[in-house]
Amino acid sequence: MAPKIEASMVVMLLFVAIVQILALALMPPLLAAEVRVFEDPSSTTNPLSYILLVLAFTAFLLFAVKMGRAWVVSGFIQLAVAMSIYYVLSAIIPAVPSILLALGLTAALRFYPEWYLVDAVGLLVSAGVSALFGISMNTLPAVLLLVALAVYDAISVYKTKHMVDLAESAIRMKAPLLFIAPRRRGYSFRKNHSGTEKGGAYFLGLGDAIIPTVIVISANWSVEASLLPIPGLALNLPALGGMLGTVLGFLVLSMTSRSRPQAGLPFLNGGAILGFLLGCAAAGVSPF
């Protein structure tokens, strides 16, 4: 029998939805600033560059942890988080307040890494990173990226299991690389060193929110489709399809067995791609 969807899983789905909405809100100022990761958004080599970056980052983290240099990993992650927070905030508020808030939030995470603070920072970081990469790729390289990372996630969770080791290390170090949804009252991430459900919470890697959002953002700026009449949100039908597909993929993921870690991207990316393609068909536009 498939497990029931608990309230904490609904919270996780809400986190993913908030990331996508925030990323859509960040898209216009980022486009106006003409800041992109890749010079040519249409190049199909962009996904390869992204994957190589992911592999290098993962290898660095695992090597440092194995060598007993967790403090190096922690410091590197905190620096990356501070830069990401600043980047997101600077798109909507002046530079000086952005720097102060980024430093303040990073310091708070360092000395008081409670679950609600980790989640709040995770929302900011995920929205900024997904918006940045979404405006840096057209839909074809974005879809290729989602497919490649879904395969990589499945291999790294079920076959090599190194992503499971990385997640457990992140939990032990209290690194802000995941979302946390408590399953019981009084749960404290600061005091809990377990990386399983028995520890009183569910965990979802930030990448599970970031990667499917890339196709949502890519579709919203690069596909020539009419905007939907949604107040306060510039959104076209292909992007909406990607958002709804992500929700569907998450619901399917939520009903899988939770007796062991599950790879999220095959479900989330698969749903996002399917929703995007259906959105393009409904809008009568070409997806690529």
Tens digit of pLDDT for each residue in 223-265?
Answer: 999 888 888 788 999 999 999 999 999 999 888 766 677 888 9
Angle at 118 between CA 92 and CA 240, to 5 degrees: 55
What is the residue-averaged pLDDT of the chain? 86
The helix or strand, by DSSP H or E, that contains position 178, with its residue range, turns out to be: strand 178-182
Those residues with Cβ within 8 angstroms of residue 117's Cβ, 6 or more apart along the chain or in another chain: 105, 108, 109
Those residues with Cβ within 8 angstroms of residue 186's Cβ, 6 or more apart along the chain or in another chain: none
Angle at 264 between CA 262 and CA 269, to 5 degrees: 150
Domain boundaries, the chain: 7-25+38-220
pTM over 0.85: yes
Q: Check pLDDT > 90 for residue 275.
A: yes
The residue type of 243 is M
Between 63-67, 98-102, 131-135, the lowest mean confidence (pLDDT) is in 63-67
